[in-house]
Amino acid sequence: MRLLHFLIFALLISYGILSHASGPQILMKTNLGDVKLELYPDKAPQTVENFMQYVEDGFYKNTIFHRVIPNFMVQGGGFDTSFNQKPTRSPVENEANNGLKNDIGTIAMARTSDPHSATAQFFINVVNNAFLNFTAPNPSGYGYTVFGKVIDGMDIVHQIAKTPTGPGGPFPSDVPRNMIIIEEMSVQPSAPVNNEE
């Protein structure tokens, strides 16, 4: 009988029927609507810790989505509404070799050509961007660290992705003509865990 119970339990897990502990959730309020994110500290611990610290410090308040490319991604979190780049803490190590893919709806860290240069800017994939995934531990293969996903408000993300763009601030292109503002980000309280058998 114990073996039968174990087999049923194993089957339920393999099919994802049993619930599992979810990661921290972030509410991102924008002037177009709210987007809720779930983060994966088990997969990208340094990246999640870094991102959550910026959230808790109020860093993202009144920053903008400054780079929007249809059928690719929307990027923000680094510039205020006057296109001033905000000062950041030290970069975090690239954690893209964590099994997570830059698939539609995932959030990943933006960076320069240096794989280990991510600070505060992030992007949300609006299509599957396999070419951004980790392939090898070298400058051309490190990829971009996925550390969470959109769990509510993907319609808002798609709305951002479809907004008309052009030059703005220091950027020659891809800037929304109507400014898209991150009004606030906040860590959401954890749901109570039901330990009843």
Cβ 39 vs Cβ 150: under 8 Å: no
Tell whether domain 23-187 is in CATH 3.10.105.10. Answer: no
Domain ranges of the chain: 23-187
Average pLDDT, the chain: 90
Band (151; pLDDT cuts 50, 70, 90): very high
Cβ 37 vs Cβ 151: under 8 Å: yes
Residue 107's pLDDT is what? Answer: 98
Residue 140: both structure tokens together: 């051309």
Residue 22's pLDDT is what? Answer: 83
